[in-house]
Amino acid sequence: MLVRPFGKARCLECRLLTWKVRNQTEMKSPRRKLAMLLVLLCGGAIVNIAVAWGINVLSNPFSARYLFGEQISKDSTTWRICLWTRIGSTYFLSQHRWVPTTRSGIIGIDPTSLLPRWFDASQLSLNPKFETTLVGGAGFPFVCLYSNLDLDSSFTVRNSRTSIQLSTTISPWPAIVIPRNLPLGIIPSAFAIDTFFYAGIMWLLFAAPGFVRRCVRGGRINRGLCPSCAYPVGENEVCTECGAPKQTKK
């Protein structure tokens, strides 16, 4: 036997129904949708930065195979590029130095072709004190943040550009600095794509429960059951089990 609420209980039920209807109406308003979009984009940007920083701090990109290219000019000035690429990170080491040699030309791969598209070659250090530049990019699915480090001849970090330096260690072979820093340089197009990617994942996480709930309720209504408790409604206007109003197919 169904016992309908009365008095204060009835008043509380009316308030809950009113709040539910009002909340559903506000969710459909343009301002609420815009606010939700901004929240998702901000959340996606935060997750994007956290993922890029995590990859840069926790991984060792120099464990992967690398590409090598060297260009020797007529005055024996050598420009060497070593490039390491793997999923989520791209690192390259650029060296400008003078080597006594009679050879000239390109050895291996043209160094210019090894530079990533997102990097501006004018940022390479040509200072004799900082003959080596180490550039590292991180991010998933696209590299979206990068750091720029100036190293001396002993592979010691002397200048840290576009990054917050945490620590550095030297790998035993090859003798490459493994930077532990937080990159601050932004690659605009990749950063936007990654932000939308993570914002979409967050939207799915929030929207999936509601979508599943609507599918379950719709299936119950199509079978003539109560959408709340799945009890057969029949011809009654309300469910005789829980008291929820009957809903028809749309």
Residue 161 has pLDDT above 80, yes or no: no
| Residue of 180, 176, 190 lying closest to 132 (CA atoms) | 176
Q: How much of the chain, in percent, has pLDDT values that exceed 70?
A: 75
Bridge partners, 104 (sequence order): none
Average pLDDT over residues 160-175: 68
What pLDDT is stored for residue 7 in this prediction? 44
**What Cα–Cα distance (Å) separates residue 109 from each residue in 52, 71, 191?**
29, 9, 29
Report the C-alpha gap between 154 and 70 in whole angstroms. 20
Average pLDDT over residues 231-242: 76
Residue 50 has pLDDT above 90, yes or no: yes
Report the C-alpha gap between 42 and 114 in whole angstroms. 34
Residue 243 has pLDDT above 80, yes or no: no
Tokens describing residue 177: 């600095």
What pLDDT is stored for residue 163 in this prediction? 86
Residue 91 has pLDDT above 80, yes or no: yes
Average pLDDT over residues 191-206: 93
**Residue scoring higher pLDDT (41 or 151):** 41
pLDDT level of residue 53 (50, 70, 90 thresholds): very high
* Whole-structure pTM value: 0.71
Q: Which amino acid is at 43?
A: G
| Residue of 48, 56, 130 lying closest to 96 (CA atoms) | 130
**Residue scoring higher pLDDT (237 or 23):** 237
What pLDDT is stored for residue 11 in this prediction? 54
What pLDDT is stored for residue 2 in this prediction? 43
**Residue scoring higher pLDDT (58 or 53):** 53
How confident is the prediction for the chain on average, in pLDDT? 77
